[in-house]
Structure 1
Amino acid sequence: MDIKSRIESLRSLMKERSIDAFIIPSSDNHGSEYVSDYFRVRQWISGFTGSAGTVVITEKEAHLWVDGRYFLQGEQQIQGTEYILERMGEPDVKTYTQWICDNVKTGGTVSFNGKVFTVSQLHDLEEAFQEKGIKTKPEEDIFDIIWKDRPTMPNKKIFIHEDSYAGKTVEEKLTLVKEEMKNINVNNLLLASLDDIAWLLNLRGGDVECNPVFLSYFLISDDKYILYVDKEKLNEKIINLLSIKSISIKDYNDIVSDLKLIKGNITFDPSKTNVWLKESINKEVNTIEKRNITTDLKARKNSVELKNIENAHIKDGIAMVKFIKWVKENVNNEEITEISAAEKLKKLRAEGEDFIDISFDTIAGYGPHGAIIHYKASEESSLKLQPKGLFLVDSGAQYLDGTTDITRTIALGELTEEEKEDYTLVLKGHLNLSTAIFLEGTPGCSLDVLARRALWSKGLDFKHGTGHGVGYLLNVHEGPQGIRRELNPIALEEGMIVSNEPGVYKADKHGVRIENLIAVQEKEKNDFGKFMCFKDLTLCPYELDAINISLLNEDEKSWLNDYHKKVLEKLSPYLLEDEVLWLKNATKEI
């Protein structure tokens, strides 16, 4: 079926069921950002492959909402279809709920798959539709009817993340959760987000590509712990281990019948819990909607995790140095494409001890493709690298001892003055954030301007967040913390890890992004309070050939030189002689 036929097949069902508009988000049953092939319904019906976006289809129109990361990609991928691209955040662009309000008749019906639509999303709809009397009608997964060759549900094996990596035992984590449940006076806790469950149980899986999680639910009910999962994913060792910890195992879909039986009250995260689950809870049970207890515990990495993560970044830095050296030395001698470069980088990372997988699909964009923020090369689009211009590579890995995420923009040869200035302005913002000192309790949104100030002074900006939280052998995007312009009141606390990744993107020209992972740590205490700072975890040289040194001040030069000394010191013991010589040149003082 082509895109037109897919849309028409949905419209036919909508007509049968008296549905005026159907909403298709990007998530799975667990509110996940990245999903397995089975859940890629929005991609199937629109052709848009980005990780975030929402489709709304009515009898006569089809619209796709994307954020600034995907403006260019979305425009390209829906060409030739009836879809209209809605650029979220742009002037005069309505949200999809506002658009539905304006385009669905009074008393009309709006539907969605209740298993992939979160409680928070439903609240937003109901509030927006109330005045006009538009009804919401959760449906079952009707795409099982119209998507004839739909992939099967993922069924990868689960493995144990040993305590030596995790830093805390499952018993210790469960005790912390139970204590907090007692503090807020709740009887039951429902976890539906996959990374929270994996973290809590010190287990990992492979149901979502690049994200070592497994499809499951977890229920704490008084003194009972129940994991709802496909038992085929568990080996005898895990089953016995869970039994010792008094954790029962039930089938994945048994969660619904059990939710009908709970008593007292229950708490769950409305942004991670689907409508299907909420509607299964007995109406006499009081529901408390709040962020998962585990989300905050997971975000603050313990001392063992932080030490392990530093080790993971040494391995990652080794791979990155080998990769950048290889690209620069061979771009003029052999055919290197965006795809073959990404494959080479994955191969180099796989040589590192305890490598599991990459942490997301590598973004390898040469020249104008670097301006597509979340670009993914295909056989049709993949460019051959040339010994000139900029090559943006955003990549990462999953190791048993941590998750990495790094972006380097590589000079492949001669650069224009514009390319150098753009690189240097991004670097200035990157350094300005990395060297920030801030009072305890400061949220990331209060620091965002530091990364943008140099760009704003030249009338430039970037349409994505400056920093996101990062998991620990978990999702590369993790909350609740972040650094972005939009208000997020979550304070940056000791042990949290965030990315530092400003950029600038010029369509049909080039893109620049520079990214390190940084850990929040205490700087000092004095009469004015506790002050915090960042520690750079990423170990990889910046691109000296792309810097306009005249735009850097003395403090920036000094920081850059000190960082490069650390990179050389940390990585040299693991490199071959010619690689050390190359790294010495790449980290020379400016």
Structure 2
Amino acid sequence: MSTHEARLSALRDELKTRKLSGFVVPLTDEHMSEYVGEYAQRLAWLTGFEGSAGTAVVLEGEAAIFVDGRYTLQVRDQVDGRFWQYEQVPQTSVAEWLKSHAPDGARIGYDPWLHTRSWVKAAREALESRNGELVVLPDNPVDAVWRDRPQPSNARLIVHADRHAGKSSAQKRQEMAEWLKEKRADAAVLSALDSIAWTFNIRGQDVARTPVALAFALVHADGTADLYIDEAKLDDDVRAHLGNAVRVHPKLDFVNGLAGLSGKTVVVDPASSVTAIFERLGQAGAKLVEARDPAVLPKAVKNPVEIAGTKAAHLRDGAALTRFLHWVALESPKGGLDELTASDKLHALRRETGELRDLSFDTISGAGPNGAVVHYRASEKTNRKLEPGQLYLVDSGGQYPDGTTDVTRTVAIGEPTAEMRDRFTRVLKGHIAIARAVFPKGTRGSQLDVLARQHLWDVGLDFAHGTGHGVGSFLSVHEGPQRIATTGGDEPLQPGMILSDEPGYYKTGEYGIRIENLVLVAPHAMAGAEKEMLCFETLTLAPIDLALVDTALLDEGEKAWLNAYHARVLGEIGPLVDAGTQEWLEQVTRPL
């Protein structure tokens, strides 16, 4: 019996002892995080799936794993299809699957610290249609059979200095207090880890690639706050930074803190707060106001200090990436260069900046067919050489004290085919269309998404991921509420927001293409405009492979954009790299 087959069997045995027909295993933690600590990697432990989004449902006689379009190929590589059905979201959902697969009268368990109220409502209604029951559990049955489950991280906090944050924690909390008063509320629950890190100007090391600490917080209408965190994480500097207005409690006391809000009016975000929080507040007799976490929007709209910081980070990062691309150009013709060697080299070059605190996510280093796996992660088992006639896709980023980066480049190893050049150029045209977009204030990302896809659609092609996600400031590389996507991009774009611009194309079994820069929403002065207009300012600076560009497919405006972008790359990155790289950069950024 294989390891994951044995784990599935052990979980089923545990469910039988609890008189349960099934159990739902989401990939998240008690903070509804996208990226989670090792202790919360229940889905990976159970199934082998290593993506960043997914859910499993285990019934007595069958089991299913649910992923989105980014992981269509990866889930089949990592999860044994003999034991798991592969389900695609949003085409289906856990609730819909339970409605059609759970037996009549089923008792399906769930962990109330891992699901939102909206999920619970949908699943409960689906089961009730089959005379079934959704059963809240006091503890997680996966944890009961995961014998060597890691403990949560005990890493120390660090202070995120005002010179990087641009605003003190006291100022942020006072603005939240004014917001609470406007809502006639007494307190707000902060459960999202990046919201807590941003509000208190602290950073942590509890989640790989994301500088956050495991904590909960309550912010009050008088500007004070309660922070629930393992107190061993705090040294004297952090305590002095937090000050007397922030009361520190053990993380396990959070439930008691919720109980202490009896009779109070409390703001809770239904998107980031798990159902257990609502239950505890309801039991305490608190009056609940459902509203967005008050840190979300101000965190997304970067202040001038944060904008200056991210620009500095992108210069530093762009120089490291440019050195890497030059190295690939020199080494790949010699043979022997592989995905792992390449990603290690890029990491080393970022470390040489002296400012890198971590990668912003695991580097996607995909040669040939591995590049078609959208969120591919190279391993000793999957590692491929960069061989002539292939495309090499590298999606990577760094965490720096002054900013977070995320950039993708696709390069030809040897001579590309005409089809590769056609597809690359169509992706490039979509990338340029987003980069050049001018739009009125109030425009949503969903309204712009078609710009990135139109030239692929012209020949019957598309890509199965969003065009752009928000990015934090020395925080999460995936940050809401802004995004550019067919669905979910409903937040009006505002000056100061940072997003990715990353259309792509993926041919299963052959190659993948993605071109990604980060862009800043900025005001756009326009003569005769009757509305306040906005545009995107490109932050990322690194060459785009001209060997893959079919100039016949570009119009004059697109050529002008690419030439101007490359002139900027040469002018700003050129002085930051060695002479050999600068000479190469002059060649690869030559005007079309």
* TM-score for the superposition, normalised by structure 1: 0.97
Structure 1 residue aligned with 2:434: 433
Deviation at 1:566, TM superposition (A): 0.6
The SS at the match of 2:482 is strand
Report 1:345-494 matches (<5 A).
Answer: 345-494=346-495
Name the residue aligned to 1:117. 115
Give the Å deviation of 1:47: 0.9
Between stretches 517-526 and 196-205, larger displacement belongs to 517-526
* C-alpha displacement of 1:375: 0.4
**What CA distance in whole angstroms lies between the structure 1 residues aligned with 2:79 and 2:282?**
43
> What is the distance in 2 between the residues matched to 1:134 and 1:347?
54
Cα distance change of structure 1 residues 327 and 440 upon mapping to structure 2, 3 Å threshold: same
**Are residue 579 (structure 1) and residue 581 (structure 2) matched?**
yes
- CA distance in 2 between counterparts of 1:485 and 1:411 reads 29
Residues 584 and 203 (structure 1 numbering): CA distance in 2 closer, same or farther, change over 3 Å? same
Q: Which residue of 2 aligns with 1:231?
A: 231
- Separation in 2 of the partners of 1:360 and 1:529? 38
Whole-Å Cα distance in 2 between the matches of residues 330 and 488 of structure 1?
Answer: 41
The residue aligned with 1:35 is 36
Instruction: Write the distance in 2 (CA, Å) between the matches of 1:312 and 1:133.
Output: 56
Q: 1:136 to 1:80 in 2, by over 3 A?
A: closer
CA offset at residue 59 of structure 1?
A: 0.5
CA–CA separation in structure 2 for the residues paired with 1:488 and 1:320: 29
Following the alignment from structure 1 to structure 2, what is the Cα–Cα distance between the partners of residues 24 and 522?
Answer: 44
Judge conservation of contact 1:437–1:523 (CA < 8 Å) in 2.
yes
Residue 570 of structure 1 aligns with an amino acid whose one-letter code is E
Letter in 2 for 1:578: G
SS in 2 for 1:461: coil
How far apart are the structure 2 equivalents of 1:539 and 1:138? 50
CA displacement, residues 216-244 of structure 1 (integer Å, 9 cap, x when unaligned) = 00012443411000011111111122134
Match of 1:219 in 2: 218
CA distance in 2, matches of 1:159, 1:170: 14
The DSSP-based 3-state class of the residue aligned with 2:566 is helix
**Corresponding residue for 1:252?**
251
1:335 is paired with a residue whose SS is coil
Structure 2 distance, partners of 1:517, 1:533, is 13
The equivalent residue for 2:197 is 198
| Rounded Cα–Cα distance in structure 2 between residues aligned with 1:68 and 1:80 | 17
| Corresponding residue number in structure 1 for 2:537 | 535
Secondary structure in 1 aligned to 2:19?
coil
Looking at structure 2, the residues matched to 472 and 124 of structure 1 have their Cα atoms a distance apart, in angstroms, of 35
Query: In the TM superposition, what is the alpha-carbon distance from 1:80 to its structure 2 partner?
Result: 5.5
Is contact 1:4-1:81 (8 Å) kept? no
Amino acid at match of 1:319: A
Segment drifting more, 230-239 vs 123-132 = 123-132
Cα pair 2:368 2:392 within 8 Å, conserved = yes
Structure 1: gaps of 5 or more residues? none
* Correspondence 1:98 to 2:96: yes
The answer to whether the 8 Å contact 2:368/2:512 transfers is yes
- Residue type matched to 1:364 in 2? S
Aligned AA for 1:159? I
2:269 aligned residue: 269
For 1:155, what is the secondary structure of its paired residue? coil
Partner amino acid, structure 2, of 1:290:
A
Cα gap change, 1:527 to 1:457, in 2 (>3 Å)? closer
Q: Tell me the distance in 1 between the aligned counterparts of 2:396 and 2:186.
A: 42
Query: In 1, Cα distance between the equivalents of 2:413 and 2:106?
Result: 56
**CA–CA distance in structure 2, aligned partners of residues 347 and 109 of structure 1:** 51
SS state at 1:447 partner: helix
Q: Across the two proteins, how many residue pairs are aligned to each other?
A: 586
Aligned partners of 2:133, 2:404: CA distance in 1, in Å?
A: 43
Provide the rounded CA distance (Å) in 2 between the counterparts of 1:567 and 1:195: 31
- Post-superposition Cα deviations, 1:164-215, rounded to whole Å, max 9, x if no partner, equal 0000111111111111111112112110000000001110001000000000
SS in 1 for 2:334: coil
Of residues 569-578 and 125-134 in structure 1, the stretch that sits farther from structure 2 once superposed is 125-134
Amino acid at match of 2:582: V
The amino acid across from 2:238 in the alignment is I
- Cα offset for 1:404? 0.2
The DSSP-based 3-state class of the residue aligned with 2:52 is: coil
Aligned partners of 1:261 and 1:282 also within 8 Å: no
3-state SS in 1 of match to 2:466: coil
Q: How does 1:72-221 map to 2 (within 5 A)?
A: 72-79=73-80, 81-90=82-91, 94-139=92-137, 140-221=139-220
1:127 Cα offset (Å): 4.1
Q: Matches of 1:560 and 1:281 in 2, distance apart? A: 54
Amino acid at match of 1:78: V
In the aligned structure 1, how far is the partner of 2:87 from the partner of 2:96? 12
| Structure 1 residue 567 corresponds to structure 2 residue 569 | yes
How far off its partner does 1:134 sit? 3.0
Q: Is the 8 A contact 2:335 2:386 kept in 1?
A: no
Q: Distance in 1 between matches of 2:437 and 2:183?
A: 35
User: Does the C-alpha gap of structure 1 residues 380 and 506 become closer, same or farther in structure 2, counting only changes over 3 Å?
Assistant: same
Residues 353 and 213 (structure 1), Cα distance of their counterparts in 2 relative to 1, 3 Å cut: same
SS of alignment partner, residue 383 of structure 1: coil
Shift of 1:132: 4.0
The amino acid across from 1:484 in the alignment is A
Distance (whole Å) between structure 2 residues aligned to residue 231 and residue 89 of structure 1:
40
* TM-aligned CA deviation for residue 470 of structure 1: 0.3
Match of 2:240 in 1: 240
Separation in 2, partners of 1:119, 1:34: 20
| Structure 1 residue 487 displacement after superposition | 4.4
Q: Greater shift after overlay, 2-11 or 360-369?
A: 2-11
Give the Å deviation of 1:77: 1.2
Question: Which AA in structure 1 matches 2:584?
Answer: W
Task: Please state whether the residue corresponding to 1:27 is helix, strand or coil.
Answer: coil
Which deviates more, 204-213 or 75-84? 75-84
CA contact (8 A) 1:260 1:280 kept: yes
Deviation at 1:542, TM superposition (A): 0.6
Question: Is the 8 Å Cα contact of residues 365 and 375 (structure 1) preserved in structure 2?
Answer: yes
Q: Distance in 2 between matches of 1:211 and 1:85?
A: 29
Say whether the 8 Å CA contact 2:164–2:309 is kept in structure 1.
Answer: yes
2:524 corresponds to: 523
The answer to whether the 8 Å contact 2:231/2:250 transfers is: yes
The more displaced of 344-353 and 272-281 is 272-281
Deviations 1:124-173 (A, max 9, x none): 32344454443222221222320011111111111011000000111111
Determine if contact 2:56/2:63 at 8 Å carries over to the other structure: yes
Q: Distance in 2 between matches of 1:133 and 1:173?
A: 48
1:535-577 deviation digits (Å, cap 9, x = unpaired)? 0000011110111111100000001000111111111121111
Q: Which amino acid aligns with 1:332?
A: P
- Distance in 2, matches of 1:88 and 1:282, equals 32
Q: Distance in 2 between matches of 1:557 and 1:334?
A: 33
Q: Which residue of 2 aligns with 1:294?
A: 295
- The residue type equivalent to 1:540 in the other structure is A
AA at the equivalent of 2:548: A
CA distance in 1, matches of 2:141, 2:131: 25
Contact map agreement 1:3 1:81 (CA 8 A) in 2: no
Q: Could you list the per-position Cα deviations for residues 18-46 of structure 1 after superposition, in whole angstroms to 9, with x for gaps in the alignment?
A: 22221100001100000111110011111
User: Considering only aligned residues, what root-mean-square deviation do their CA atoms show, in Å?
Assistant: 1.4
* Contact persistence 1:227–1:248 (CA under 8 A): yes
Structure 1 contact 121–271 (Cα < 8 Å) conserved: no
d(CA) in 1 for partners of 2:282 and 2:52?
34
Describe the shift of the 1:183–1:134 C-alpha distance in structure 2 as closer, same or farther (beyond 3 A).
farther
Aligned-residue offset at 1:281: 1.6
